Amino acid sequence: MSLFDLTGKVAIITGSSRGIGRAIAEAYADAGAKVVISSRKQPACEEVADAINAKHGEERAVAIAASISDKAALEALVTETRQRLGQIDILVCNAASNPYYGPMAGISDEQFRKIFDNNVLANHWLVSMVAPEMIERKDGAIVIVSSIGGLIGSDVIGAYNVSKAADFQLVRNLAIEFGKHNVRVNAIAPGVIRTDFAKALWEDPKAEAALRRVTPLGRIGEPDEIAGAAVFLASKAGAYVTGQGIVVDGGTTIRGGL
């Protein structure tokens, strides 16, 4: 059996109607898993699920919309996944938000709370919902998509970076709690990836040129370049990896950040 085979596994991936989340869902389906496509809007989820199913000629994906800011919606997501697919083997907390760009002195309390609610608390909610069955089976993989922002400072996305640093610590704590049950918890820390979410960091040609200069590989990353790390962490290849933050940034952080 391939170290990267996910046949028979069921994975929930939040924020998977586009960008990094979609790339992870597609890679999991390619590796044999059944995937739950989830984001805020059901039509967008269905479009991605239909494309995955058409590619494989069978049902590898189901669409279940849920807002990460709504605890009841996340509970419904988990319940429906179990009803339709039987169990949950893999959870990828990818969805996040960043409603504010600028110095932290200018951020409102509402914006700060939204960042932490969506980027940290929602991950805690989802993990708490799926972990009991993983613990009972003594098998499971949880992946939280953090960011290199959690490792460096910024004068424009400070609160977002603080939330992503919190995700690293969430992973470390949960890995210790769940380790004795053979449930692994890890983070992926992408650099700047060509997605709509990060568009403000690369859409201007001058901004992209600056990013290229500080990235040893000399380019911005693509969503499917994050998916490989997600497959590794969910599969037998990553069976002895837990509590870690895997940086996938083209080398940006080794040159001192952005």
Maximum Cα interatomic distance, the chain, rounded to a whole number of Å: 53
| Catalytic entry in 28, 100, 101, 160 | 160
The whole-angstrom separation of Cα 210 and Cα 53 is 39
Nearest residue to 250 (alpha-carbon basis) of 222, 226, 215, 225: 215
The whole-angstrom separation of Cα 245 and Cα 243 is 7
Catalytic residue list contains 240: no
Secondary structure of residue 2 in the 3-state scheme: coil
List Cα–Cα distances, 28 to 56, 58, 250, in angstroms.
Answer: 12, 14, 22
Supply the DSSP symbol for 35: E
Q: Phi and psi at residue 176, in whole multiples of 5°?
A: -70, -45
**Burial letters for 34-68: b for 16+ Cβ neighbours within 10 Å, e otherwise?**
bbbbbbbeeebbbebbeebbeeeeeebbbbbbbbb
Catalytic site positions: 160
